[in-house]
Amino acid sequence: MSKQTYSVCFCWRRRFKLALAEAPSEIKTLFEEYSENEIMTPSHLKRFLVEVQKQEKATEEEAQAIIDSFRHFHRRGVGLNLESFFKYLFSDDNPPLLPSHGVYHDMTFPLSHYFIYTGHNSYLTGNQLSSECSDVPIINALKRGVRVIELDIWPNAAKDNINVLHGNTLTPPVELIRCLRSIKEYAFVASEYPVVITLEDHLTPDLQAKVAEMVANTFGDILFTPNTESVKEFPSPDSLKRRIIISTKPPKEYLGGKEKDKGDDSQHEKGKEDGKASGEDEAWGKEVPSLRGGTIEDYKDNNVDEEDLNDDDESDESDKLPHNVAPEYRRLIAIHAGKPKGGLEECLKVDPDKVRRLSLSEQQLEKAAINHGKQIVRFTQRNILRVYPKGTRIDSSNYNPLIGWMHGAQMVAFNMQGYGRSLWLMHGMFRANGGCGYVKKPDFLLETGGSDNEVFDPKAKLPVKTTLKVTVYMGEGWYYDFKHTHFDQYSPPDFYTRVGIAGVPSDTVMKKTKPIEDNWLPTWNETFEFPLSVPELALLRIEVHEYDMSEKDDFGGQTCLPIRELRSGIRAIPLNSQKGEKYPSVKLLMRFEFIN
């Protein structure tokens, strides 16, 4: 035990004792139950792993390996004492997700059967209006496992080359060739599964031909090009390992100065009030908009008519194309995008002989979901739906991704360059399936039938399938990762934990523990229960706050975990920074139990 000193009013100093981490009472009780003579032998530890941790296939050999790894915490090598048992539970060797799982989903189904880790305006370093365009955020996204990179391509000032930039804004451009070369270099660093490049094309036919040459020369044999212009079914991720795929609308006649900027950027002049976060938002990002009641409150003042579905540059029928387009550019397109004329009903029609990609803004999807939820699900069973942020998100904030996922949308496109609660949900979803960037959609979103009644209804009130019981024991590590005055100038921090569910509306909830005053090693020992009707889409949200009476509560760490991969038992939960980077030491000790 040591002491820490804080200055108060320049006149006197307060001293606080710093205790060593001690096992909570329930951990002590479990140790007594699964040990003998204060030693947990391999057979005792195996029984604990099977009965408490629900690791039904655990062996004594595995238990012995754990004991050997923590031998340095005790003198007797025959087993674990209480200290080494506690150290094991609180270690990186006891994570909440099974590290050995790797990629375990069946990857042989069509691409339309998977949620895909998708970026929006992947080249921007910051806000949507004035930040620099660069290949650096593209590299960072690929390193994280993002599988869909979006590039907006425009003629340069001399009209003889191609730049990537956010059109009709002040964003300084980056050359397309630099982005392509970086994609090639980093595409498969984090995952061997295919990378899709979505192009927003604002080029003349001669520059389209130049893009085709650049793409072909850069990617060579790893570029996937289909044999026919339209395909009946998308290939599988497994068949496309280490391949690059181009997705865009079929090229149309160049409109020069009349070219309209893409639909998600047509409202830059609106929403400038969204550009500056305030108070708590600066540390946490805005709370994820609720999906309760069938609409998102954050969108209630944004009316989107069905006619708006044709307001972007994907609204051209391929059979009306002019003949002066670059044929080599057309041949690059493996996933065709576009919005048919005729409004929402036409957009959601399923062609049995052809698959395609449809893009909707978050507002358009929200509007469509009110009366056409099951049609959207049916569309996404064979076709790909991309959802992108509304144009007023000039601060590069994001929306609730569950609105897309619960309707089967594969490409829920996010601004990856920022941070905030919505982005943490995206990070959490794609921790699943070994972090490969592809997560198999739940079977209920893929079940087809002869009538709409046999398709999943996102609005249906469903019975509870299981209840997740969460116990928050304690936390540690802030003392090592932060300065002692980071949270409070005058005393140690007062931490509390928020824990809850992001999922379908009926499952979504947040709860919190009481704050523990003046303690770098807070022990809460509080239990919460979360009934889950759709656990397959649910994410466990965990945030640690430092309570402050006079100001906004401080950020103490966060993580989101996919519940369908959550391990039962007592687990060590590493926490991350606002940008999703793992802290060296900060973690929580928690217990997860599934009650059927």
Q: How confident is the model at residue 490 (pLDDT cuts 50, 70, 90)?
A: confident
- Is the predicted pLDDT of residue 373 greater than 90, yes or no? yes
Residue 313 has pLDDT above 70, yes or no: no
pLDDT band at 292 (very low <50, low <70, confident <90, very high): low
pLDDT of 282: 58
Domains present along the chain, CATH in parentheses: 3-97+463-595 (2.60.40.150), 114-250+326-440 (3.20.20.190)
Please name the helix (run of DSSP H) or strand (run of DSSP E) that holds residue 45, with its range, or none.
Answer: helix 42-51
Indicate whether 202 pLDDT > 70.
Answer: yes
Mean pLDDT of the 566-582 span: 96
Q: Which of 44, 105, 113, 166 is catalytic?
A: 166
Least confident among 39-43, 95-99, 446-450, 498-502 = 446-450
- pLDDT bin (cut points 50, 70, 90) of residue 322 is very low
Predicted pLDDT at 375: 95
pLDDT (0 to 100) of residue 99: 74
122 touches 149 (CB < 8 A)? yes
Which pair of structure tokens corresponds to residue 440?
Answer: 């198999």
**Which entry of 44, 105, 120, 545 is annotated as an active-site residue?**
120
User: Please, which pLDDT band fits residue 19 given cuts at 50, 70 and 90?
Assistant: low
445, 380 in Cβ contact below 8 A? yes
In sequence order, what are the residues at sequence separation of 6 or more whose Cβ sits closer than 8 angstroms to the Cβ of residue 504?
Answer: 291, 402, 406, 458, 462, 533, 534, 537, 538
CB under 8 Å, gap of 24 or more: what pairs does 94-100 form?
A: 94/570, 94/571, 94/572, 95/567, 95/571, 95/572, 95/574, 96/561, 96/566, 96/567, 96/571, 96/572, 96/573, 96/590, 96/592, 97/431, 97/432, 97/561, 97/562, 97/565, 97/566, 97/567, 98/565, 98/567
Strands (E), 367-513: 384-388, 411-414, 438-440, 466-476, 495-502, 509-512
What's residue 261's pLDDT? 40
**Average confidence (pLDDT) over 263-268:** 40
166 is catalytic: yes
| Model-wide pTM > 0.85 | yes
Q: pLDDT confidence of 259, banded at 50, 70, 90?
A: very low
pLDDT confidence of residue 454: 79
377 CB contacts (<8 Å, ≥6 apart)? 407, 408, 445, 455, 456, 457, 458
Given a cut of 70, whether residue 272 has pLDDT beyond it is no
Check residues 262 and 407 and name the one with the higher pLDDT.
407
Q: Are strands 333-336 and 438-440 parallel, antiparallel or unpaired?
A: unpaired
**195-201 and 244-248 strand pairing:** parallel
Mean pLDDT score, 553-562: 96
Query: pLDDT tier at 589 (50, 70, 90 boundaries)?
Result: very high
Q: Is the pLDDT of residue 533 over 50?
A: yes
What is the spatial distance between Cα 165 and Cα 153, in angstroms, rounded to a whole number? 7
Residue-wise pLDDT tens digits, 177-191: 999 999 999 999 999
- Residue 543 clears pLDDT 70, i.e. is over it: yes
Q: Are 4 and 491 in contact (CB under 8 A)?
A: no
Please tell me the predicted confidence (pLDDT) of residue 145: 98
427 is catalytic: no
Which segment of 232-246, 343-357, 420-434, 440-454 scores lowest on mean pLDDT? 440-454
